[in-house]
Amino acid sequence: MIVDDQKGVRRLLEELFKREGWEVHAASDGVEAISKLDQYLPDILLIDMKMPNMNGLEASQIILQKHKNLPIIMMTAYGEMEVVKQALDAGVKRCITKPFDIIVLRDIVMQIVMDKVS
Ligand SMILES: [Mg+2]
């Protein structure tokens, strides 16, 4: 599942992972992501930090209370070191700084999902 308030980012990541053969669901903020997770539990969640309504850190904290084993990758802005620390403390698996190389992101996602099933 991809959570980002920017339509362009959602579309880019949706296309990338659909091409890899994944079923992809998208949400535009933390509130929508939490409600979608009640109907559909993904293998991995990619979530933006800066979003209206509920940011990625708040959403991740709430999501991880209910879904402890759901791997979350949070997309942060350069210099958000305090946020990154809080996210990792909350149980977020990885943080990746925007802008990122989509191939690097794809490889991180694959690695985390492989580790989860093995
Ligand atoms: Mg954003």
CA of 118 from ligand 1 middle (Å) equals 33
Q: Is the pLDDT of residue 106 over 80?
A: yes
* pTM score: 0.96
Residue 117 has a pLDDT of 79
Residue 118 has a pLDDT of 77
3-class DSSP string for 46-99 = EEECCCCCCCHHHHHHHHHHHCCCCCEEEEEECCCHHHHHHHHHHCCCEEEEEC
Which percentage of the chain shows pLDDT scores above 70?
A: 100
Judge contact between 61 and 39, C-beta under 8 A.
no
The DSSP bridge pattern shows strands 94-98 and 2-3 to be: unpaired
Residue 5 has a pLDDT of 98
How far is CA 50 from its chain centroid?
12
Q: Could you report the per-residue pLDDT of 43-91, keeping only the tens digit for each?
A: 999 999 999 999 999 999 999 999 999 999 999 998 899 999 999 999 9
Closest CA to 53 of 27, 75, 71: 27
CA of 35 from ligand 1 middle (Å) equals 19
CA of 10 from ligand 1 middle (Å) equals 10
Query: Which domains occur in the chain, in start order?
Result: 2-113 (3.40.50.2300)
Average of per-residue pLDDT across 29-51: 96
Closest CA to 47 of 10, 8, 19, 90: 10
Beta partners for 27? 3
Residues in the chain: 118
CA of 56 from ligand 1 middle (Å) equals 9
